[in-house]
Structure 1
Amino acid sequence: MPENASPAVVRKQGRYRRRLRSRIIVSFVLLGFCLTALFAFATNWARVRVENQLVEEVMNRNIDEYAKRYSLDPSRNATWPVKQMYARAVKPDKFEALRAEEPDWYEFKDGIHNLSGADEGGQRFSYKLAVRKTPEAWFFLAYDMTDSIRGEQQLKQALFLSVIVFSVLSWILGWWSASRVMRPVSDLAKRLRAYRGGTTHPEPLAPRFPDDEVGQLAEALDDYSARLTEVVQRDREFNADVSHELRTPLAVIRGATELLLARPGLDEKMLQRLQRIQRAEQQCSDLIGSLLLLSRNERGQGSSNVAKVAEQLLEAHRAQLGGKPLELVLEGGRDLVIDAPEAALSVALGNLIGNAVKYTQEGQVRVRVLDNAVEVIDTGPGLSEKDAASLFQRGYRGTHAGHSQGGGIGLSIVSRLCALYGWQVSIRPGDERGVVGALTFTPAA
């Protein structure tokens, strides 16, 4: 995010970020869902495992008992129905018949096997088959698992329903907990917003909150607020003192210059020097007034004719060109009037014109007044990508600055003035060469 992003842009981007309250609720829901799902999985797994162990243990005992009884009396019926089980003994002379009747049974080795499928009527079935093969006979014991599978499906449905119910309960608990946890934080944020544009010494926050984490945060904010208020107060006092102390000698310079200019018989060189001093004094006064308003974050009152201010600035720079082969031209209409004092417009537009004159060694600097903007177009060395990205940073001096005077704060001041008055400033490379700087003004209400 850019450092100079407006609060409205920051708030708009913040809408797409998940709030802390939502994160708490989501955490509760995920925790409840994961724990319930894990418990449901473990329950179903334990049930299947225990049931299989019990069923197989019973089947092993029964088939061993059946084989023992058969060995005592081979003439006994080869089939033995037991509750939920079916036992069968196959004599050696019936092995081939078994191959044709139950090919799967014929191929099975000793042990317990799982079988499932559908009968002729389309009904699903499932059973376990215990196999014991001896030279005297083959023994089979089938255990019907259809009811068990039906019960397993019912258990799964119940577990699934429990996962949903407990997830909903987790959401309710999370919402309630988040509301309880975030209420002090929301109250703190509300009180902080109430201080915006309030008194110089805001009411302390810490006494209104318990001695917990939120109370410690409120105490830290009180300390920060006190230090920030002190810094702002000192800054305002310093700006006011500097403004007063600088305006006094400037007033002396202005009065002395006006007296000297009123004297008759001044030669041309003396007149030009006095006029230059007068313009420099006016520029200093405008700059001091604009900086003082910036420090207070206050807009100055008044209106300005853009073409008139531009003409004054161009005239001041023409007097300082010396022998530099540079033409300063004003183009466009003369009717654009903006709601801002001439001092603020003079500082903003003067920086753009001053930079254009400074870095253009020959050619032309044109100031073009449009319907709701003013452009400064030069034929200088152009603009690099690095300069375009950093020109409005405080203290940055462009690639072509060389050993020229200046601290790299002019365009930073322009940017701050534009933010104060709602203007837009931009600097871009020209169509063929040079640079185009533009001030776009807020349309009149």
Structure 2
Amino acid sequence: MADVSPSARPRARTRTRYRRRLRSRIILGFVLLGFSLTLLMVVATNKVRDRVEDTLVSDVLNRNIDELARRYYADPAKHPSTPIEQVRGFVFAPNGARLRTEFPEWASLSDGIYGLGGKNPDGTAFHYKLAVRRTQKAWFFIAYDTTQSERAKQRFNEQLTVVVILFTALSLLVGWWSASRVMSPVLELAQRLKRSRSGLTGPLANDFADDEVGQLAAALDDYSARLTEVVQRDREFNADVSHELRTPLAVIRGAIELLLAKSDLDEKTRSRLMRIQRAEQQCTDLISALLLLSRNERGQGTTDVARVAEQLLDAHRAQLGGKPVALRVEGNAGLMVDASEAAVTVALNNLIGNAVKYTLEGEVVVRLLPQSVEVVDSGPGLSPEDAARLFERGYRGTHAGHSQGGGIGLSIVRRLCELYGWDVRVAPGAVRGVVATLTFG
């Protein structure tokens, strides 16, 4: 199992989704709208143009083929094939050899109007519309050359493509301008918020119009006022609790010191008084550390980690209650940390306390390294679930059983590490147990 630290462990299983900036989404919306409308107009124009052209051509072909049939039946000997209204008319005998020789592709066509085409000898394309009418005496064909019309249609489509590109570019410019106008007050509001990192200097809503951005600024003003009130109440509560708790603790400390100064104390009573003294010091350190966390302030001072570790192990030895666990310190005794002693004591005490709690027999070793401290125990080790949730507030490990504790000790360690820039990791031991490493940045 790999090392587990609060920074490496995923805090929530959420999908990371890419979201475009609001400005980009506005511009993209304008571009898509302009492109879609222009393309729709082009398609509709082509459809209407083709329908109107087909209707006109069909009307011309039907009128001309009627006229061709009328002239033929009026004088069949003339076999009219002269152009009639810019079209060419042809009359062939049914299934005649001349039709199959001159226009073999026409022979299989039934009555109707067809669009045909091909290649000229020079390789250029030609297109024409052909109207076909079959009777028992003759087959009539009217051919209408649409080559120029098809070329004009191709040029027209090319121009429409240019129109689509131009209107899309115009939509891009309009979208860019509109996004700038729309986002200007939003960006101004964001800049105002960035400039006021230490707190809003005044109401935001007064500087914005009575629109959606103004309503957002008013909502932020209201939220800021409520947040300021909550923070103020929190600070006052922390200060009051700190003061009210320190006073009785100071009384307890003074009373313990006076009692310990007596020379007629038996060893049992002295041991109990020293235990009360250590508990009082632990409460004082914990109050100081929690007050630093609530204020998000780093305490000043330099702490001798070896001395703190020895004091903590002495306190835990007195609480073993006959459990066969050896507690010792090894390593570099000159490790000094630029932090308040209360913060170092609370962080290290939680790691040592967990190791002592879950080690039923064996030893707990506090190993001092040049820039870190390792707490090594011979307890039951870590389960995968414990490793994933170890630093969550309120979580108690699978080996906790009915032991006392609310599962907030390691969460306090994590918060102290975030405040001071330290790092805390836990990993399985080489053989058994757990190795907790507190690295001082």
When normalised by structure 2's length, the TM-score is: 0.92
The amino acid across from 1:377 in the alignment is V
Residue matched to 1:168: 169
Post-superposition offset of 1:78: 4.1
Residue matched to 2:136: 135
Residue matched to 1:48: 50
Q: Do the aligned partners of residues 73 and 22 (structure 1) sit closer, same or farther apart at CA in structure 2, a change above 3 Å counting?
A: same
The amino acid across from 2:386 in the alignment is D
Q: Extract structure 1 runs of 4+ deviating beyond 4 A.
A: 13-16
Q: Do the aligned partners of residues 343 and 102 (structure 1) sit closer, same or farther apart at CA in structure 2, a change above 3 Å counting?
A: same
Identity, % of aligned positions: 65
Q: Aligned to 1:151, what secondary structure does the other structure show? A: helix
1:20 is aligned, of 11, 19, 22, to 22
Q: Please identify, of 371-380 and 175-184, the stretch whose mean Cα deviation from structure 2 is larger.
A: 371-380
Q: Aligned to 1:120, what secondary structure does the other structure show? A: coil
Q: Do the aligned partners of residues 240 and 148 (structure 1) sit closer, same or farther apart at CA in structure 2, a change above 3 Å counting?
A: same
Residue matched to 2:436: 437
Could you list the per-position Cα deviations for residues 170-198 of structure 1 after superposition, in whole angstroms to 9, with x for gaps in the alignment?
A: 11111111111111111222222222123
* Structure-2 separation of matches of 1:195 and 1:207: 16
Q: Aligned to 1:113, what secondary structure does the other structure show? A: strand
Could you list the per-position Cα deviations for residues 316-335 of structure 1 after superposition, in whole angstroms to 9, with x for gaps in the alignment?
A: 21222121101123233223
Pairs within 5 Å for 1:331-350: 331-350=330-349
Q: Would you say the 8 A contact 2:71–2:80 is kept in 1? A: no
Q: Aligned to 1:39, what secondary structure does the other structure show? A: helix
* Structure-2 separation of matches of 1:430 and 1:5: 21
Residue matched to 1:294: 293
Matched, 1:239 2:238: yes
Pairs within 5 Å for 1:45-444: 45-82=47-84, 84-92=86-94, 95-198=96-199, 202-442=201-441
Larger RCO (CA within 8 A; separation ≥ 6)? 2
Residue matched to 2:3: none
Unaligned runs of 5+ in 1: none
Q: Would you say the 8 A contact 1:239–1:295 is kept in 2? A: yes
Q: Would you say the 8 A contact 2:64–2:84 is kept in 1? A: no
Q: Aligned to 1:235, what secondary structure does the other structure show? A: helix
Post-superposition offset of 1:312: 2.1
The amino acid across from 1:174 in the alignment is G
Q: Aligned to 2:244, what secondary structure does the other structure show? A: helix
When normalised by structure 1's length, the TM-score is: 0.91
Q: Aligned to 1:75, what secondary structure does the other structure show? A: helix
Q: Do the aligned partners of residues 165 and 14 (structure 1) sit closer, same or farther apart at CA in structure 2, a change above 3 Å counting?
A: farther
Post-superposition offset of 1:5: 7.8
Q: Would you say the 8 A contact 1:304–1:341 is kept in 2? A: yes
Q: Would you say the 8 A contact 2:381–2:428 is kept in 1? A: yes
Q: Please identify, of 259-268 and 392-401, the stretch whose mean Cα deviation from structure 2 is larger.
A: 259-268
Post-superposition offset of 1:433: 2.4
Q: Aligned to 2:78, what secondary structure does the other structure show? A: coil
Q: Aligned to 1:153, what secondary structure does the other structure show? A: helix
RMSD of equivalent CA atoms: 2.2
* Structure-1 separation of matches of 2:336 and 2:17: 38
Post-superposition offset of 1:19: 0.8
Q: Aligned to 2:360, what secondary structure does the other structure show? A: coil
* Structure-1 separation of matches of 2:169 and 2:307: 70
Post-superposition offset of 1:364: 1.6
The amino acid across from 2:186 in the alignment is V
Post-superposition offset of 1:22: 0.9
Post-superposition offset of 1:37: 0.7
* Structure-1 separation of matches of 2:156 and 2:430: 76
Q: Aligned to 1:364, what secondary structure does the other structure show? A: strand
* Structure-2 separation of matches of 1:285 and 1:84: 110
* Structure-1 separation of matches of 2:318 and 2:332: 24
Post-superposition offset of 1:367: 1.9
* Structure-2 separation of matches of 1:5 and 1:74: 101
Q: Aligned to 1:198, what secondary structure does the other structure show? A: coil
Q: Please identify, of 421-430 and 346-355, the stretch whose mean Cα deviation from structure 2 is larger.
A: 421-430
The amino acid across from 1:341 in the alignment is S
Post-superposition offset of 1:15: 11
* Structure-2 separation of matches of 1:147 and 1:329: 102
* Structure-2 separation of matches of 1:164 and 1:349: 68
Q: Would you say the 8 A contact 2:68–2:80 is kept in 1? A: no
Unaligned runs of 5+ in 2: 1-5
The amino acid across from 2:32 in the alignment is L
Post-superposition offset of 1:275: 2.0
Q: Aligned to 1:191, what secondary structure does the other structure show? A: helix
Q: Would you say the 8 A contact 1:78–1:90 is kept in 2? A: no
Q: Aligned to 2:77, what secondary structure does the other structure show? A: coil
* Structure-2 separation of matches of 1:399 and 1:5: 22
* Structure-2 separation of matches of 1:218 and 1:198: 15
Could you list the per-position Cα deviations for residues 205-243 of structure 1 after superposition, in whole angstroms to 9, with x for gaps in the alignment?
A: 121222221222211211111111111111111111111
Residue matched to 1:39: 41
Q: Do the aligned partners of residues 112 and 418 (structure 1) sit closer, same or farther apart at CA in structure 2, a change above 3 Å counting?
A: same
Q: Aligned to 1:81, what secondary structure does the other structure show? A: coil
Q: Aligned to 1:79, what secondary structure does the other structure show? A: coil
* Structure-2 separation of matches of 1:433 and 1:371: 25
